[in-house]
Structure 1
């Protein structure tokens, strides 16, 4: 199936999979949202006007946590989930991937899915695992991780664990939708692509997969949020209560 200009086939999959395209780009209260390339490039710790800094601060306020690295981890996992969902969804449904170059994706740090991301131009690419890895792992998650480590000191192992967890969750939701919709072809493509992606060195050590389930080897620190606990794929069975730096990566 060819990519359509609105990527309309993603809409039935749910908000995390939907990717707005050029016609949906709008002005916000602070003007047109920056590209993710601009967001990643500004890595100074005191970059207060940077979109990533704004998102981490907003997440911290919403979750009522005073620990910047906790807010940074949760913000990272949410963006990683959006990127994996749209990329894997396109590859499994269309058999093609739109070019997700960070210079083509605009990101509103104050919005939630699907209004947070807009693709300014739909350029078709192959929908194979190698292209997905180049687009998401190397195009986004590597520079995103570097920016968060520079600004908030989040451990690399934690961030790659977030990336693995986000990919597994996207694959699980896509499999659920495909089977419920009678699209076994989509389920099979998603499963094969996910398996190949977890063969990537950056993802292979992040956790253990059994079917569509995933158990990560690190913790995203959600247990440190007031009222939080451990996630379904956490390495811990219950929230740790020892060192304040426990499970940092």
Structure 2
């Protein structure tokens, strides 16, 4: 099935999968290319710093490092969901070049994204589009600004990818689309073969081998795939 200009099929999968197309309704938020840059765009605010402060305020994070990890995981989940959802449903995916993808750092969760132009790509480019085009520069940007290890951030990415696969699998079971579930699992298996992602989850249990730091929030507990059995420092 060819990509339609509105990517309307994604709407049935839930908020993490929806991708708006065309011009944003209000103003022109920054592109993700600007967010991954080493500093703020000329004459404007730093989108990545704005997002991290927004997450810190909303979740009452005790330090920006915690907010940065959770902001990263939220954006990674959106990017994987959009790309994998398109690949599984359409058999194609849109070009998600960071220069084409606008992002509202002050928006709510899931992250608000707009794609200015829908340009179809083959599913074989999924790794290049998301891991290489987005997650690698995002990991580098956060590593340069905050004390966050690459292993933790790639763990976030692996966890987010697995979550997207689970959502697609549940949807496919509900609507009798075994082809969608199979395509999503096959594509994810190829993505997890890359060294950046290959060691992020325990293959036997699906639990991650690093922690996103969610437990450090005032009301934070452990995520369903956390590497810990109880929050560190608590009996």
Q: State whether TM-score is above 0.5.
A: yes
1:227 maps onto 2:222 in alignment: no
1:84-103 deviation digits (Å, cap 9, x = unpaired): 00000000000001000000
| Displacement over 6 Å in runs of 4+ | none
* Alpha-carbon contact 2:75-2:111 (below 8 Å) kept: no
1:145-166 deviation digits (Å, cap 9, x = unpaired): 1111111221111000000000
Partner Cα distance (1:110, 1:169) in 2:
24
TM-score, scaled relative to structure 2: 0.94
TM-score, scaled relative to structure 1: 0.89
1:109 maps onto 2:126 in alignment: no
Unpaired runs of at least 5, structure 1: 243-249
Q: What's the counterpart of residue 15 of structure 1?
A: 15
1:4 maps onto 2:43 in alignment: no
* Alpha-carbon contact 2:202-2:208 (below 8 Å) kept: yes
Partner Cα distance (1:112, 1:186) in 2:
29
Partner Cα distance (2:166, 2:110) in 1:
19
Q: What's the counterpart of residue 153 of structure 2?
A: 159
1:163-185 deviation digits (Å, cap 9, x = unpaired): 00000000000110011111111
1:48-88 deviation digits (Å, cap 9, x = unpaired): 92111011001111111231100000000000000000000
Unpaired runs of at least 5, structure 2: none
Q: Which SS does the other structure have where 2:203 is aligned?
A: strand
1:1-249 to 2 correspondences below 5 Å: 1-23=1-23, 25-27=24-26, 31-43=27-39, 49-113=45-109, 116-128=112-124, 131-210=125-204, 214-241=206-233
